[in-house]
Amino acid sequence: MASLRVTFGLCLLIIALSEVTSRRQARVTLRESGYEGVVVALEDDLPVSLCQELLIGLEESLQAASTTISTATRSWASLRSVSVVVPRSWTPSVCPLLLGITEAENESWDTANIRVTTAQHPRHGMKPWTQQSQGCGKQGDFIRVAHHLLRQNTSLYNGRLLAHEWLRYRYGVFEEVGEVGNPFHPPHYRAPNAEWKPNACGNQNIFESSKSTCDPKDLGCDLDVTQEDNPSLTSSFMAFPQIPSIKHATSAPHGRTQPSKPTPSLALNLKPGEHDTVSQVYDSSLSHIPGSYDGLLALSLPLILSPLLPASCTTGSLDVTELCDEGNHDQFVPTRHNLACDGKSVWEVMRASEDFQDSSNSEGRAVDSLVSLRYVHPRNKRIVLLVDDTNVMNSQKRWDFMRKAVRKVVAYDIPDGFRVGLVVFDSKSKVKHHLSALVDSDIREKVGSSLPRNPSVVGETQRCLLCGLKTSLDLLKKNGGSHGGNIILVTGGSSTLSEHDKHKAQLMLQDAGVTLNLVIYPLIDRFPHPGSNLEYVTATSGGQSFIIPDEGIGEDSRVGMYYGLLDALYYAVGNVAGWRGLPVKIHEAEHPGGLSGKSEGSFLVDPSLNSNINFAIFFYDVGHVGNVVHLISPHNQVIDTSNMQSEDGNMNMIKVQLSGSQVTPGLWRYSVDNKADSHQGLFIQVTSKPYLPQYGHSSQVEVRGWTNHPTGEVNATDISMPLAIFAEVLSGTGPVEGARVTANLTRLGLASNGTLHKPQEIVLVDNGLLGPDMTQGDGVYSRFVPNLITGKFSVTIYVEGTIGQYSFARHVRLGVLNVISSTPTVDAIPPARVVDLRMSFLPGTPNQISFTWTAPGNDFDYGTADRYMVKVGPTPDLENGEYSYLEDWPSPLESSTIQQHALEWTKYDSVSYVGIYAVDEERNTPSLSNLVTVFIPAPPTTTASPSLFYQSVYTSNTSEVRDGSATLLASGPNLKLIIIIVAGIVGVLVIGGIAYCACASQKPKKNKKANEVPPTFNGQVVIPDEKKFTDRTDSSESIKKEFMSPVESWSASQLLSSHQENKRGSMSARSDGTSDHSDSTKKSYAGFSANNDFYGSPNHFQYTHGMYPESYPPPSTDSYPTPTEGYPTPTEVYPPEGYPISSETRSYVSSPPSESFLSVSCDLIPGTHGPPGYSAYPGYDATLRSGKVPPPIPPKPKVMYSPEPYPFDSQDSSSGSPSIAGAEKRVRNVTMV
């Protein structure tokens, strides 16, 4: 038995050692249903004391994840080989699991698929999470997990969480369950039958625990779904990765209590009492094997021990391990996956992945989910600088700038420990310096000074680029390994490459696993064409291209060309070293010469920076920098740097270093004497020393940029793949929210008039509106770029943000973009999709609701769309099901503006679904928005009607209501009683009419004297304060001439004409008869605007806002207009704006208007022109004052309104009441006096 154990252990040892020596693939690939080349990286500052414990937890979690992935994908995929990059301080002497560790090839933190961090994420905590910036069906950026999770004795549970994130990362799928507090993807949703249901995808109806007591309408009410309540629930794994719960999945088969002895993570569901058998076999088989191999041996144990396990271990109970497919997927539940993937199931999206286009990865095949791990230390990078020295460089200052730039980047920018070599080429290639580790300043000086003093005389056409690539690859192979490395190629001229050489270069780089970064110096073509074979080779190898335009002036060159080369080399090295190894660039600015004596500027220093700040001035000639170089601290302390300057003529640089207590966070300023010529200038650059783990990583600011076109080629004609620019802004592991992030897109070359192209500024946003930003508040800022034209473009991203009380500034430069075709001249770009439509009830109202959304724009999220289309229907299928359109919605506002529309909803006790989309002038449309549900229970019959601005004119429903048994439940008022009441009212009206006619027939006789004033005006007016108007100069004669009897002078035609004039002069309506919606729909996320303006449809409100005259039924044409403004009335009695309005005209409101209702306006007050016979005085001044008063005003009949149609009922103008038919709509303002 002992010999059997020895043989068993030796076999496992051989298997483990063979796994350790396996080599990493060039990239992650799926081969025969197993992923190879997966990279996991642990952060450098993780303590050595956690080494063994973390690696054991990682091994167990990866094995459990592989088995779960295999089950979820129906054996289409699993994890097969994983390389784990551990901190260099972790050695086999302190961590036995690392016995046999090797050097990494190209694996690093920046290229890792899974990254284990020191700190927890501020939002996700220790759980793994995936950054997805590319949308549905696109691979994510990376998976991050806090190391705390791996220290928990929950390997099976950890594996399920990692598997869940791997599916998101690899296939571009999303959660199929609601999120607590998310109004767009709530935990519960209202189904068409008005019931609240869990917002999740499952193979059956999902039941919540009976113990749940929270209200499903509450966004804070989380789902309480357990395996006990859903014993047959098997999907979706993208909704419930935690089922079975932690208590069922926390224990590994052999409880891990001592980190020195790992335990196998069996991907099985073992019942209680079965653990001991497995543990005994495991312990007995490994008892004699050194502990350093335990973790590796444990990975093979499930496969070897499977015959020894009982049958229940392989079957187990039902767990949620499957994915929703077309058979059980509900495309209308409001999950994040449905919104991002247009209702497609996870299986539909996953099947479209490139991984499964190969028939070798098919469903149902037997899959070995065993994971092999290879531990590696991060290798110090190897870089070969490959420099073109043909005669294209033998012009102006090109070669001089080249030598200075190479010296500077080697001396200051490349991190310590990197191995750097140098090769030059013309018609052949030559090694100028072999790979050497940059360990001190002497080595850096030797390598940086290796370029010859003068370039060769070989012509550009004889250049042999492949010769230089082959020599560089041989140099990398001889010095440090046969695989991996980096080449930075600097070449000038046309930089062309034939198709034959293009394919050959691709194969050479691919076979060697080498990344190429390209610097075209200088770009001679003044009107460059997009794309080149050399740039394509660079992109396919994983590198980027940078271009420096030629800035020659006669026999000279501008210093801007030198600084451009420095900048390009800086970012090329950054692509190799990563952001943590490079000096942090805080500020850079060009100060042209010949303008003024001083060049001034400012830069921000934040606490996340190192305590050493370098202030550098780059010049063409040292005489261009005057004697005064001052730095002003945030406390206004002026620092004279005369004794702090370090001048380096070999690099055309003056450097000032601030360190220690001199470095104060805040806004610094500088003042430099600029004596440069008009065609030259000075460049100011401020940097901080690179990141150091011991300095405190948690406060470090990281800025990274990229596009959705990794090859750098953009076909702007294909509007389905528009250019998107991304920028990630992090502080430690957490996102920086609220930063201002802009991308400057500059076309290279010259415009037709010979001037440089002006940069186009693109403001990037982190709003989560899917166009293209996927998640709000994740620190990834992005934006589509429409309307591109053919050409080469450079992209620079600028970031300004705040951490705590301090501000910071950063910027990064991306590689060259080649737009190979322009955007079509015919507008084919649709508006952005609305994905944040929300509905809320207006407070204090029974059935008034408000819709809120972000204005989408005209071309994507730029500009202003033409109009909205709003669909409503009884089912969520608003494309193929029953639906209609809601009318009278506001016009779109400018993109990114919050819009709001309020209306009265009269459909009770049934669920309605509402969606919206915008239309541009060319009728381009996006997809329908997210849907919102509207459900309003019918109000109780005993509930008092809400207080309105007007007396309700709706007809009461007097029809009998019966239940299914035809029993009378309710009926209207008694018919006889109604007849009696109506007859009484009619009788009163008849008697009143007769009395009125009798009084009217007794008219006073007219005064026969032409010069006499009517008796009404023959006495002094009695003023309440007994004051007399002694300054009035007009006589009774003038009054007689100025005023005529209103009864005698007003004809019906004149009254109608006057009324129409007043209508045309209304200040509520625009001249074009339309409404201006811009002000009343500008809302904020926090709530309504100060004046509570809402949009109302004429179908919904009798009174609406005064800005929208079309929202009102017209008044009766039988009513009299009010007297004009400007009567000569005493200021002590009447208001200065005109004659007082009678109470019958003003009394439309019995109480102050409520904020819950619309502010409405009224145009009953006439304009500046009075009715005929009441012509207004030309002015209201002292010459019009007198002791006499104007003639009496005829009594005005009350304005009566005919009943309006019930909301949502169609209005037929042809059959409407006389007061409505054929008349224009009116606006009333109840707040007017």
- Between residues 632 and 1137, which one has the greater pLDDT? 632
Residues 85-113, mean pLDDT to the nearest whole number: 92
Distance in angstroms (rounded) separating the CA atoms of residues 54 and 149: 9
8 Å CB contact between 766 and 776: yes
pLDDT digits over 108-123, tens only?
A: 998 999 999 999 999 9
pLDDT at residue 960 greater than cutoff 90? no
Predicted pLDDT at 37: 94
Predicted pLDDT at 363: 60
Residue with tokens 């036995």: 96
Q: Decide the pairing of beta strands 372-377 and 102-103.
A: parallel
DSSP 387: E
pLDDT digits over 530-549, tens only?
A: 988 999 999 999 999 999 99
Distance in angstroms (rounded) separating the CA atoms of residues 142 and 518: 26
- Between residues 761 and 695, which one has the greater pLDDT? 761
pLDDT at residue 1232 greater than cutoff 50? no
Predicted pLDDT at 978: 59
Rounded mean pLDDT of the chain? 76
Distance in angstroms (rounded) separating the CA atoms of residues 328 and 325: 6
Question: Any bridge partners for residue 196, and if so which?
Answer: 190
pLDDT at residue 1214 greater than cutoff 70? no
Residues 291-314, mean pLDDT to the nearest whole number: 35
pLDDT at residue 150 greater than cutoff 70? yes
Residues 1113-1126, mean pLDDT to the nearest whole number: 42
Distance in angstroms (rounded) separating the CA atoms of residues 645 and 643: 6
Residue 122 in tokens: 């501020």
Residue 356, helix vs strand vs coil: helix
For 350, other C-beta atoms within 10 Å of its C-beta total 23
- Residue 1229 vs residues 32, 532, 853, 947, 1163: alpha-carbon distances, Å: 75, 67, 28, 17, 7
Read off the pLDDT band of 1121 (50, 70, 90).
very low
Residues 872-895, mean pLDDT to the nearest whole number: 95
Read off the pLDDT band of 426 (50, 70, 90).
very high
DSSP string, 1055-1090: HHHHHHHHHHT-TTS-TTS----TTTT-BBTTB--T
- Between residues 1094 and 207, which one has the greater pLDDT? 207
Distance in angstroms (rounded) separating the CA atoms of residues 1129 and 1150: 28
Task: List all residues 6 or more positions away from 517 whose beta carbon is below 8 Å from its beta carbon.
Answer: 486, 487, 488, 489, 538, 543, 544, 545, 546, 572, 575, 576
Distance in angstroms (rounded) separating the CA atoms of residues 1102 and 850: 17
Residues 273-284, mean pLDDT to the nearest whole number: 32
pLDDT digits over 167-211, tens only?
A: 999 999 999 999 999 999 999 999 999 999 999 999 999 999 888
H/E element holding 40? strand 38-42
Q: What does pTM read for this prediction?
A: 0.72
Residue 59 in tokens: 């091994």
Which of 453, 542, 531 is closest to 494 using CA atoms? 531
Residues 744-756, mean pLDDT to the nearest whole number: 91
Distance in angstroms (rounded) separating the CA atoms of residues 1140 and 1133: 9
pLDDT at residue 290 greater than cutoff 50? no
pLDDT digits over 338-391, tens only?
A: 999 999 999 999 999 999 987 766 665 566 668 999 999 998 889 999 999 999
Predicted pLDDT at 279: 32
Predicted pLDDT at 367: 63
Distance in angstroms (rounded) separating the CA atoms of residues 872 and 933: 9
Predicted pLDDT at 733: 85
Predicted pLDDT at 294: 38
Residue 165, φ and ψ in degrees, nearest 5: -70, -30
DSSP 409: I
Question: Any bridge partners for residue 198, and if so which?
Answer: 188
- Between residues 994 and 243, which one has the greater pLDDT? 243
Which of 1124, 1105, 1102 is closest to 1113 using CA atoms? 1102
For 1072, other C-beta atoms within 10 Å of its C-beta total 6
Predicted pLDDT at 692: 57
Task: List all residues 6 or more positions away from 425 whose beta carbon is below 8 Å from its beta carbon.
Answer: 386, 387, 388, 389, 463, 464, 465, 467, 468, 471
Predicted pLDDT at 994: 75
Predicted pLDDT at 1165: 34
Question: Any bridge partners for residue 187, and if so which?
Answer: none
For 913, other C-beta atoms within 10 Å of its C-beta total 21
pLDDT digits over 647-669, tens only?
A: 999 999 999 999 888 899 999 99
Predicted pLDDT at 1051: 53
8 Å CB contact between 96 and 292: yes
Residue 293 in tokens: 């191999």
Task: List all residues 6 or more positions away from 114 whose beta carbon is below 8 Å from its beta carbon.
Answer: 38, 39, 40, 41, 128, 142, 143, 144, 145, 162
Distance in angstroms (rounded) separating the CA atoms of residues 411 and 407: 6
Where does residue 354 rank: exposed (0-12), middle (13-18), buried (19+ CB within 10 A)? exposed
pLDDT at residue 1154 greater than cutoff 80? no
pLDDT at residue 412 greater than cutoff 70? yes
pLDDT digits over 562-595, tens only?
A: 999 999 999 999 999 887 778 899 999 999 998 7
- Between residues 1104 and 593, which one has the greater pLDDT? 593
Phi-psi region of 450 (alpha: psi -120 to 50; beta: other; left: phi over 0): alpha
Distance in angstroms (rounded) separating the CA atoms of residues 99 and 20: 9
pLDDT at residue 283 greater than cutoff 80? no
Predicted pLDDT at 1002: 56
Q: For residue 266, give the amino acid letter.
A: L
For 586, other C-beta atoms within 10 Å of its C-beta total 22
Predicted pLDDT at 941: 67
Residues 854-871, mean pLDDT to the nearest whole number: 96
Question: How much of the chain exceeds pLDDT 90, in percent?
Answer: 55
pLDDT at residue 124 greater than cutoff 50? yes
- Residue 628 vs residues 479, 603, 643: alpha-carbon distances, Å: 48, 18, 11
Residues 954-969, mean pLDDT to the nearest whole number: 30
Predicted pLDDT at 660: 84
Q: For residue 1213, give the amino acid letter.
A: S
pLDDT at residue 1036 greater than cutoff 80? no
Distance in angstroms (rounded) separating the CA atoms of residues 214 and 199: 15
Predicted pLDDT at 758: 93
Predicted pLDDT at 555: 86
Residues 1083-1101, mean pLDDT to the nearest whole number: 35
Radius of gyration of the chain (CA): 40
pLDDT digits over 718-743, tens only?
A: 999 999 999 999 998 899 999 999 99
pLDDT at residue 991 greater than cutoff 90? no
For 696, other C-beta atoms within 10 Å of its C-beta total 13
Residue 368, φ and ψ in degrees, nearest 5: -90, 105
Task: List all residues 6 or more positions away from 447 whose beta carbon is below 8 Å from its beta carbon.
Answer: 410, 420, 421, 422, 433, 436, 438
Q: Give Cα 518 distance to the centre of its chain.
A: 32
Distance in angstroms (rounded) separating the CA atoms of residues 423 and 408: 17
pLDDT at residue 1100 greater than cutoff 70? no
Read off the pLDDT band of 983 (50, 70, 90).
confident
pLDDT at residue 478 greater than cutoff 70? yes
Residues 772-785, mean pLDDT to the nearest whole number: 96
Distance in angstroms (rounded) separating the CA atoms of residues 655 and 615: 6
